[in-house]
Amino acid sequence: MKQKNEDESAHKLRRWIVIFCVAVLLIFINCIYFLNKVSSNHALTYHYTLEGDPMEQYRSPAVAGLFYPADALHLEKEITHYLAAGYKKHESMPRVIIVPHAGYRYSAAAAAQAYQPLQDYASQIRTVILLGPSHYVAINGAALSDADFFQTPLGKVKVNLEIVKKLAQTPSFSINKNAHRKEHSIEVQLPFLQKTLRNFDIVPIVYGDINPQQLAEILYKYLRRSDVLLVVSADLSHYHDYGTALEMDSTTADKISERQADIDYHHSCGAAGINTALLLSKKLSLKPEILALFNSGDVSDDKKRVVGYGAWSFSDKGVKISELEREYAGLKSFASQYREQMLDAARKSISAAVNNQTYRPSRNEYDEHLFDKGAAFVTLHKNGELRGCIGSLYPRQAIIADIVSNARSAALQDNRFPPLSADEFSAIQISVSLLSGYEKIDYKNEDDLLRQLNPYIDGIVIRDGNRQGLFLPSVWEQFPDKKEFLNNLKIKAGMSPSFWSNDIAVYRFRTVEIKENENQ
């Protein structure tokens, strides 16, 4: 009996031991499971984003990683770099900007010049209407998006659905999400807006074949609001050689400056958008200001097929213009008023010179203002070829006297040519360039100086000790490449084209040129 009780006790003990071991094993398995479950998610905390409302519609980035960095930290760093450059302070809030839409490597430096001033008015801008050309989908009119938000690596941007719905009911507008799905002309602007503005929403518009006049009339009522900004996305000339592109883009810049709304698609892929902006600027009395103008050849080594980029801002007071620009505006008015009298004096002086006489202008012949001090260059051409050019750097005498003196010197004393003869006189074409004052260019090195030069606009003076050289803006026609222009200017100053010193003083100036037999 005793043995039987001992056997039962041993059996119960073994059973409890088994139960205990199974329990411990189960607890161990559960601990391992939950430890892994808690600590081994593949996602990283710094990649966390709030999940959107499943009912909301998002337009996802199409060119992140292609036109600009897809990584948020990298993108933010890159935009901060571009926005760190200096910019022109505006006297009032920009109402319209024109910016390029290429990859950031090529065009972001231009775009940043238009976006930087927005930071000073970030609290005032509530709605941004984005206007960009369609590159992938043929559109008759303008396409709106049905998305609630546009997503970028920096986060989401809210769409102003109220304005979208109103526009969708107007002629030429329709909802077309396919037009927006791959389009980059709008998308590349968003990260800059996210970095420069605060609480804002957008109205993204992609257009195809559309009448700028009609588009301007539709957008006018929204642009009348003081909290609305229009961003026009447009590159300039496409795939021409460097020199041709400079000429074409300079023509476009002149038309924008004059608010001449007849830019064509050969000069800009965003011609309709630019023309719309120019029409609106007239209705709203906004003044355009050029902020940047260059092309891809200034960024890469390829100068055979380049794309042009520019940036402009429109506001009711414009930007605080420099003294140089103020003088240039004054010279343009002066030249327009006294063009015929100045050319007349130059021709009389040359006629007298080739006949061994000296012409002296009198106050009885010319307007009183032509006896104000000024500096001018007189250039002679014969059969399209240079025949003489002499000028003054500084305004030391009456402008009419300076023109008469330099016209005589250009005919008889330009050492590059023999003195002009009386037989040649009738074949000579005369041009007079009025000079502004000088603006010193501060630069870090030669590459930085080249970046700051404005082809076809800047006249340049370089000075190193007693060596000095000057090129008028017209010389850009002969040397359209910035490096070639500077190297030849160094040669003219008596320097080697490979020579450089940061002690070289560099100045820019403007000229207003008037020519014989040229339409005013």
Q: What distance in Å separates the CA atoms of residue 264 and residue 478, rounded to the nearest whole number?
A: 26
Average pLDDT over residues 233-260: 93
How confident is the model at residue 386, as a pLDDT? 93
- Are 271 and 236 a contacting pair, CB within 8 Å? no
Average pLDDT over residues 296-317: 91
Q: What distance in Å separates the CA atoms of residue 329 and residue 316, rounded to the nearest whole number?
A: 18
How confident is the model at residue 483, as a pLDDT? 93
Evaluate if residue 43 carries a pLDDT over 60.
no
Evaluate if residue 347 carries a pLDDT over 50.
yes
Average pLDDT over residues 470-489: 91
Average pLDDT over residues 308-315: 95
Evaluate if residue 16 carries a pLDDT over 80.
no
**Residue 150 contacts by C-beta under 8 Å, 6 or more apart in sequence?**
58, 59, 156, 157, 159, 186, 187, 190, 202, 204
Percent of the chain with pLDDT over 70: 90
Query: Can 58-317 and 321-520 be said to share one CATH topology?
Result: no
pLDDT digits (tens, 9 = 90+) for 348-386: 999 999 999 999 999 999 999 999 999 999 999 999 899
Percent of the chain with pLDDT over 90: 72
Average pLDDT over residues 381-405: 94
pLDDT digits (tens, 9 = 90+) for 441-463: 999 999 989 988 888 788 999 99
Q: What is the largest CA-CA distance in the chain?
A: 157
- CB neighbours of residue 66 within 10 Å: 12
Q: What distance in Å separates the CA atoms of residue 14 and residue 16, rounded to the nearest whole number?
A: 5
* C-alpha torsion sign, points 370, 374, 379, 380: positive
At residue 56 the predicted structure's pLDDT band, cuts being 50, 70 and 90, is confident
Average pLDDT over residues 204-210: 97
How confident is the model at residue 41, as a pLDDT? 43
Q: Which of 32-46, 74-88, 421-435 has the lowest mean pLDDT?
A: 32-46
How confident is the model at residue 47, as a pLDDT? 35
How confident is the model at residue 320, as a pLDDT? 56
How confident is the model at residue 324, as a pLDDT? 84
How confident is the model at residue 53, as a pLDDT? 54
pLDDT digits (tens, 9 = 90+) for 409-441: 999 999 999 999 999 999 999 999 999 999 999
More reliable by pLDDT, 429 or 477: 429
How confident is the model at residue 466, as a pLDDT? 93
How confident is the model at residue 6, as a pLDDT? 57
- Are 48 and 171 a contacting pair, CB within 8 Å? no
How confident is the model at residue 54, as a pLDDT? 58
Ranges of beta strands (E only) in 31-95 are 58-59
Domain chopping of the chain, boundaries: 58-317, 321-520
**Residue 114 contacts by C-beta under 8 Å, 6 or more apart in sequence?**
94, 97, 98, 99, 291, 292, 311, 312, 313
At residue 321 the predicted structure's pLDDT band, cuts being 50, 70 and 90, is low
At residue 45 the predicted structure's pLDDT band, cuts being 50, 70 and 90, is very low
What CATH class has 58-317? Answer: alpha beta
- Are 178 and 140 a contacting pair, CB within 8 Å? no
Evaluate if residue 343 carries a pLDDT over 90.
yes
What CATH number does domain 321-520 carry, 3.40.50.1820, 3.40.50.300, 3.30.700.20, 3.40.50.1980? Answer: 3.30.700.20
